[in-house]
Amino acid sequence: MATAEEIAQRDAEDSIEQVISRYTTDLQSGLTTASAEHKLKEDGLNELYKPPKPTLLMLFIMQLLGFIIILLIIAAVASMTVNATGSKRDDPLSYTTGIAIFVIVILNAGIAAWTEHKAGDALEALSKMTQAAIYVIRDGKEVQITTNTVVRGDIVVLGTGDVVPADMRLAEAEDLKVSEMALTGEPDDVSKTWKLKPKKEGEPEKLTPEVCVFSGCNVTNGKGRGVVTATGMGTRIGRIAQLIAGEEGPKKKCYCLPDTSANQTPLQRNLEQLGAKIGILAIVVCVLVFIIGVVLDRKDLDNLDSPSALYMVLIAVTLAVAAIPEGIPLCVTISLSIGCSDMVNQHVLVRKLAAVETLGSASVICSDKTGTLTEGKMTMVNMWAAGVSYDVAGKGFDPTVGKITKCDGGADATRDMAVRSTLLSGILCCNTTLEKVKDPDTGEEKWEPRGNSSEAPIVVAARKVGHSEKVSEEYPRIIEIPFSSSRKMMLTVSDVGGRSNLCEDGMPLPTGTKYMAVCKGAPNFIVDLCEERMMPDGSVSKMTDAAKAEVLKVVDEYSMKALRVLAVAVRPMKELPFDTHDDEISTDQKFSALRQDLRLLGLVASIDPDRDGVKDSVLAARGAGIRVVMITGDYLKTAIAIAKNVQILQPQDDEATAAVDCNSLRPGGQYLEHREMDRMTSTVRVFARAKPEDKLEIVKSIQRMGQVAAMTGDGVNDAPALNQANIGVAMGIQGTEVAKGASDMILTDDNFCSIVSAVEKGRAIYSGIQKFVAFIMSVHIAEVMQIFVCIVAGIPVMRTPLQILFLILVTDLPPSIALGMEPGEPGILKLRPRPKTEPIVLGWMWFSMILNGAVLSLVIIGVYIAALVYYCGEILQAEIATIEDSTLQLSKARTVTFISLVWSENVRSYIARSFDKPFYVNLCGNRMMQYAIVLAQIALYSAVFIPFLSDKILVLRGKDIGGEGWALAVIGPCGTLILCELSKVITHYQMKSYQRWLAKKEAENAAKLEAEMASPKKVVEAESSSKEAKEPLASSVDKIEKVERPPAVRL
């Protein structure tokens, strides 16, 4: 059986009659509706394969495999097992601790799974929004259908501006050109024909057959029709997508669940490492306390006959609950989910929940130029006509915005003869039209060109001076000779019979003029063909060598400003120089006859303007320590000019080293050795004449140097680079489905500014996560300290496991989530990017958490002891057991401590909003914090006052503690506020010390890296070919970068 490649080869080499017969269709009548429906059922929709989206159940199960969650499940099972074997096994309330832990685990997994599920739905919605339509021949009629219902054998009608819906063999082609950049990476439009041509000896192999067009390519010129030969995954784009996905399909773990370990971002790895450390620490503490409790023979105050070991198992469960930060996964999920929602409002769709954080750690952003840094709309900014220079105002394709003025004095030039004549002649030599269309989603009307992007500026400028959109009807075209790389120009002949002037206020035409040839193209070629030129008053003068030099000087001036320059020349004729009915005359012969004795009218100069706000965003990125690298297919001079406009290149940058042609990356067709490549990419900010494969090598080089790379892309051939980058950013408007599938994020507006906004948001989210992790961890550290002190000192344990869960998940969780939503502190973009190996909890943060936990423990233990003395008259458990009604009195003391702790944690919620600034700075700046504190207070008073919940489940006595108990509880928050604020003095010093250490290490790493690249010793590196290459494998250069732990801070 023939392979897809062999079938495609056969379709390209057989005659069109054979192809039509093979697919049982007809060129004139196409398929019947019944036949098309049958083929659609047989072949499926014409779209790329999408792996089955993980079900909500599968996502839920995956969430249960987290290390912290597994520890909690073990603790719940242990609690229920002990109670099931104890004296209270028949009491349903004895199982509340285990049940509560399971409820929390399920709640966390459910929220995380639902959030990820909704993110997948958002991407699917984006895909549906971009569904296109195409015209086909069905039942002998031309009808419009959605592209995903095209089938093999359909006769598709193509026109300028269409996107080829499937792989096709052409049956008709009139001046047909397609852009195959998304498929091959070639920037130039490719001419297509329906005629098979024998290959000439020595002729190089073409990238694609001339008689075929391929799915996803834009039609930029002409029209045609052809028979569909392949759809969906059978197309060229589909085969590339299959190569990217891998023939073996997605990896699995546990034989059924997707293996996502290769796609982990730094945040996920940091959280896993933190969970592992906490889990090990929890096990050690639990074992230690268990041993101490058994040795000291600590017993349950309510059941003194119970074995000490059994009681200490329950205490160990209590410690496990106190030590394991079960709120962290939930808080991270909610924080990232909210962050992803905010990203949508900033035109960024996050495909992977934690990817927004990774972009916040990006140290290099590699960006396309067209459509990302620029508007993707060629706009005329200057023109030169009849020896006079003009400015053209406006932006984009709206002809009602801006006007044409003289450079000298700024006078309105709308009615100038030279301007009107040059632009009308230019539009007569264009196939592009301009029309107003309505956005189906917003209902907003906007101007859009249909056709070649290089012609759009001429059409827009012509409409600005009042030329009609019906020019083609007023000046019927007789002949068209399309642009070719050999001719370097396009030529048309239009009927101008009966006119004394070309147009109103236009140049005079010689008496008897019936036809006018117009040439539009490369200035140096057209100027050489000109024998005369138009003067400002409409007269004609001879084109001397001096006049040619003057024109070419203007061309050079425009080129130095990175403007794309086209020349426009005409030839008025009474008769055509050949017989139009003579089929023996070739196109080249017609061209040679018509291009004689040309008259130069003028030059038009266009540029793709930079997007609004890009310059500020690039400067903001620089201030954030992020190197912005522009990778473009433009020529070097054009790239440099754009880079200067958007501040990627600044005056202090050396253009010789900061901007290079990508040919220098691959001299002789081979890429440089890694050491040489790394030396170049470490300083270059502009890569010109880049191919898609160059992007991949650039990203690899950046990663070898230990940096976190974000890469933008839109074409099929960009997919490997997007896949390799730490963060692949696809374009939502211009991007192909393959590029979107390989990316981590999608820019719905294709705007560079959105990337920088995402960087800022990513940093703010990560900072918020650090704050609530530090907050929650200090709570757990304090809980462990308090229980440990109680066991060792022989004091009754101050709270039950269920009370601890209630405290952490009901009264502490809302403020924690609010901390995760904390707005970024001013100047967050002025901080240097985090090293990719930097843990989420730094050394000084551990010190701060332990210090705050110790402060909180000291204060709360003090309150607890005071409450024990007041209510029980004793402190030690053995003595309290002897007093009358000890259980009730102990409950009162625990209730006072419970209330004091909640109040203290609420105060600490405001303190934790900044590691080193006073709590009153922007005190009410986070509105969600106010809601969280109110919610925490409602939960507190519900816990201590609502019958059954308070006295039976939580064992709290809010109604019985009296005014003295409430007054005693106030001591906690007051002491916490004073001592925690004083501890910020130490934290501030440690933060400054860490920043100094980090700056020193960066300087040392840079010096080592430079020495490594300069060394003649060969650098040995390993390369990865799959998604696991998100993190490049360790090399000698990588090892230099790895961030070491800072030494202990000296106080």
- In whole angstroms, give the CA distance from residue 310 to residue 94: 14
Residue 231 has pLDDT above 50, yes or no: yes
For residue 645, count other CB atoms closer than 10 A to its CB.
19
Provide the pLDDT for residue 1012: 65
Please state the separation of Cα 169 from the chain's center in Å: 36
Residues 318-339: what's their mean pLDDT? 71
Top mean pLDDT of 715-729, 825-839, 859-873 is at 859-873
For residue 517, name the pLDDT band (cuts at 50, 70, 90).
Answer: very high
From residue 975, alpha-carbon distances to 772, 803, 861, 892 in Å are 21, 22, 12, 21
For residue 240, name the pLDDT band (cuts at 50, 70, 90).
Answer: confident
Digit-coded pLDDT (tens) for 387-434 = 999 999 987 788 988 999 999 888 999 999 999 999 999 999 998 888
| 8 Å CB contact between 265 and 708 | no
Catalytic residue check, 597: no
- In whole angstroms, give the CA distance from residue 774 to residue 766: 12
- In whole angstroms, give the CA distance from residue 521 to residue 594: 15
| 8 Å CB contact between 372 and 712 | yes
For strands 659-661 and 686-688, give the pairing. parallel
Provide the pLDDT for residue 501: 92
Residues 818-830: what's their mean pLDDT? 80
Q: Poorest-confidence range of 43-47, 212-216, 255-259?
A: 255-259
Provide the pLDDT for residue 736: 62
Mark residue 634 as left, alpha or beta (left: phi above 0; alpha: psi -120 to 50; beta: remaining): beta
Residue 991 has pLDDT above 80, yes or no: yes
Task: Tell me how long the chain is.
Answer: 1051
**Cβ within 8 Å of residue 491, ≥6 positions away:** 429, 479, 480, 481, 517, 518, 519, 520, 591, 594, 595
Of the residues 167, 368, 610, 718, only one is catalytic, namely: 368
| 8 Å CB contact between 955 and 301 | no
Residues 357-362: what's their mean pLDDT? 76
**Structure token pair of residue 373:** 């840094």
- In whole angstroms, give the CA distance from residue 231 to residue 185: 21
Q: Poorest-confidence range of 154-163, 168-177, 976-985, 1008-1017?
A: 1008-1017
For residue 698, name the pLDDT band (cuts at 50, 70, 90).
Answer: very high
For residue 327, name the pLDDT band (cuts at 50, 70, 90).
Answer: low
Q: Phi and psi of 799, rounded to 5°?
A: -160, 160
Residue 567 has pLDDT above 90, yes or no: yes
pTM: 0.67
For residue 442, count other CB atoms closer than 10 A to its CB.
8
Provide the pLDDT for residue 269: 64
Q: Poorest-confidence range of 674-688, 730-744, 856-870, 936-950?
A: 730-744
- In whole angstroms, give the CA distance from residue 993 to residue 995: 6
Query: Percentage of the chain surpassing pLDDT 90?
Result: 29
The tally of CA atoms less than 13 A away on the side-chain side of residue 861 is: 20
Digit-coded pLDDT (tens) for 602-634 = 999 988 777 888 898 899 888 888 999 999 877
- In whole angstroms, give the CA distance from residue 743 to residue 607: 29
For residue 1021, name the pLDDT band (cuts at 50, 70, 90).
Answer: very low
The 3 state secondary structure assigned to 230-251 is ECHHHCHHHHHHHHHHCCCCCC
Closest alpha carbon to 427 in 471, 361, 380: 471
Digit-coded pLDDT (tens) for 263-291 = 455 565 666 667 677 777 878 888 888 88
Provide the pLDDT for residue 1040: 27
- In whole angstroms, give the CA distance from residue 784 to residue 853: 9
Residue 752 has pLDDT above 70, yes or no: yes
Q: Which residue has the higher pLDDT, 332 or 41?
A: 41
Q: Poorest-confidence range of 584-598, 762-776, 802-816, 976-990?
A: 802-816
Digit-coded pLDDT (tens) for 347-357 = 888 776 667 66
| 8 Å CB contact between 216 and 231 | no
Q: What is the mean pLDDT of the chain?
A: 82
Residue 1041 has pLDDT above 60, yes or no: no
Residues 3-31: what's their mean pLDDT? 89
Closest alpha carbon to 802 in 100, 47, 89, 250: 100
Amino acid in the structure at residue 585: I
- In whole angstroms, give the CA distance from residue 7 to residue 23: 12
- In whole angstroms, give the CA distance from residue 766 to residue 650: 30
For residue 21, name the pLDDT band (cuts at 50, 70, 90).
Answer: very high
Amino acid in the structure at residue 541: S
For strands 540-542 and 564-573, give the pairing. unpaired
Provide the pLDDT for residue 895: 94
Residue 924 has pLDDT above 90, yes or no: no
For residue 245, name the pLDDT band (cuts at 50, 70, 90).
Answer: low
Digit-coded pLDDT (tens) for 950-965 = 888 888 998 999 999 9
Q: Is 350 helix (H, G, I), strand (E, B) or coil?
A: strand
Provide the pLDDT for residue 1023: 39
Q: Poorest-confidence range of 396-405, 475-484, 740-749?
A: 740-749
| 8 Å CB contact between 593 and 577 | yes
Query: Percentage of the chain surpassing pLDDT 70?
Result: 86
